Amino acid sequence: MLKKASSFRVLSSASGQGPAMGTRSLLWREHRDRQQALAPQGWFPYQPHVVLWLTDDQGWANVGYHNKHFYTPHMDKLAKEGVVLERHYTFPWCAPSRASLMTGRMPHRGFQEAGQRVPQDVRMLSQMMRDSGYSTHHIGKWHLGLTRSWQYPTSRGFDTSLGFMGGGVDYVSSRITDHALGDDWICAGVDLQQNGGPATGRNDVFSGTWMAAEIDRVVFNRTRSKPMFLYVALQAMHSPTPGVEVLRPFMTHYTEQLEDPRFAESAALISHADELLGRLTDSLWSADMWGSTLVIHLSDNGGQVNWVQEEVQGNNWPLRGMKRSLFEGGVRVPAFVGGGALPLSARGRVLDGYVHLADWFATLKVLAGSTEDVPEGSLSIASYIAGAVDKSPREGVVLAAGNSGSTVNFVEAVIQGPWKLINGSTPCGWDTYQGDHFPNQSSTATPGFMQPGCNTMATTLLFNIETDPHETINLADSPADVHRQRLAELFDLLSRARSEASPFEMDHDRAFDRQTRLGWCEMMRDDRGGFLGPYMEGRPATRDAYEYEAAIHSQLRRLPMDTDAADYALRAATAKGA
């Protein structure tokens, strides 16, 4: 048994929902063998339990099997005994990646620009799993809408939900951080909800504590007549750091190794995430579920690097770039599949075929036995993971095309075979490399980093990421015919991707002026005892409706701050009839 941090040994039986962590049923081996015997040879059991485990900002090197300086024994063990996906790609930042994962849409076909939202009529993975007979549960970060109740997890196919709706909160208080204020939420408050309502009594506790307890609650109290779909979206390794006092139990390994304090603090967050994964594994064993469970471990994008002392620093060594960049360090992430439901013949392999976050929609459709249509661009890798086929169905990846948004500086990128095109000007510092011990006391920011108008000179980059995985040699200006031909082919692919782009709608709620939205947000928060909630509920549903009403009846543009949704509707109807 791998050693556990003492803080989580205390938590192992705190929920009171099942056996203490680390115990296993004496009947387990019989149960596991029975499950494997029922599964077709070299294939998955019918409707396995599925745990979709998503870390936040975990870089390529923020895992032990890629970088020996990080302590992640549970990730390393599951990866070694499972299937490692070495070419798993994402979008360069959070919300578009999560939208792609949940909807099966490639970013350019859905969500890739800040200010967009997933429309109400777009089906999510959780809805497909629920309609296939699964009990469905969400724990952790959402970041897929928060102003209206239809955007919340329990309105999107999840039976239960406990977590925060925005892009980032304080690890202990669950209050909105400076990163998120004015972006996701427009007013300050506690961002922690349970099944759409305030998660009263769950805040002011380290997020790892309530996540661990909720995982056990779901596992040990699930509906046993149904398979389980559990989506755990961790807070680690997102900024800001919770601080040394909170992370001290997870820094032991690094202090023993005499690591730099800056490195130890950031690295402790991924060791904390690893500890939660180990706890999940033990709980699944104790609940006699391990043999019929598939665990899918992913990250939403590459590691964050910004050289600010108070910020969490990711590590993408030896890849180039970071979160928000289209270089490999921003979009190629640690990913693996494990669990007892993984066919025995498939285990212990490393696969180099291309996989994108959007592919999990089509893949889980196959495993769930769903007859639902799959969005174009989502490709099932079930046979590839199981070892039934030798190659991934994906021969290339459209990473970003068309209006990719200001968050990535409007850069586009596509991959086809071993060739990768990056089209656009990269901001200063986004294209740098980190060392295997980044960050440390000698880490300094690249000149011009995050300075407006400071961009790299090159606007077209061509790499052979098979022979040059670290993107060191730009072949875009090579006179060789083969390189000119590849460049033309990739631009043609990019042009086709632009033409087929079908971006999701912009968030109509942003049409309201800031002061009005701020008042409604604060009113909702105060009514919920300090907890934030869907403050646009009951307001006009579309930008056109709001602008039409505001243009004709100017008194609706700035309503008193104590106006609630019902009063707004009444006044709007009265104004229209005037």
Enumerate the active-site residues: 94, 143
**H helices of 359-446, where?**
359-368, 382-386
Q: How far apart are CA 200 and CA 202, in angstroms?
A: 6
For the purposes of burial, counting CB atoms within 10 Å of the CB of 323, is it exposed (0-12), middle (13-18) or buried (19 or more)?
buried
Read off the DSSP letter of residue 319: S
Sign of the CA dihedral with 242 first, then 245, 249, and 253 last: positive
End-to-end Cα separation, the chain, in angstroms? 74
Q: Which residues contact 577 (CB under 8 A, 6 or more apart)?
A: none
CB–CB of 436/260 below 8 Å?
no
- Candidates 252, 295, 303; CA nearest to 276 is 295
Concatenate the DSSP letters of all residues of 221-289 into one string. TS-TTS-EEEEEE--TTPSSP--HHHHGGGSHHHHHTT--HHHHHHHHHHHHHHHHHHHHHHHHHHTT-
Phi, psi (degrees; rounded to nearest 5) at 134: -85, 150
Q: How far apart are CA 210 and CA 434, in angstroms?
A: 33
- Candidates 302, 234, 308, 306; CA nearest to 271 is 234
Torsional class of 13: left (φ above 0), alpha (ψ -120 to 50), beta (otherwise): alpha
- Candidates 299, 297, 336, 295; CA nearest to 314 is 299
Q: To 10 degrees, what angle do helices 359-368 and 94-103 make?
A: 30
412-416 and 160-164: which strand pairing? Answer: unpaired
Spell out the long-range contacts of 460-464 with Cβ–Cβ below 8 A and sequence spacing 24 or more: 460/421, 460/422, 460/423, 460/487, 461/421, 461/422, 461/423, 462/419, 462/420, 462/421, 462/486, 462/487, 462/490, 463/419, 463/420, 463/422, 464/418, 464/419, 464/420
- Candidates 306, 481, 400, 406; CA nearest to 90 is 400
Torsional class of 431: left (φ above 0), alpha (ψ -120 to 50), beta (otherwise): alpha
CB–CB of 329/59 below 8 Å?
yes
Q: How far apart are CA 103 and CA 547, in angstroms?
A: 30
Can you say how many angstroms the Cα of residue 45 is from the centroid of all Cα atoms in its chain?
Answer: 27
Helix (H, G, I), strand (E, B) or coil at 573: helix
Read off the DSSP letter of residue 496: H
Q: For 100-219, where are the E strands, in sequence order? A: 135-141, 160-164, 193-194, 197-198
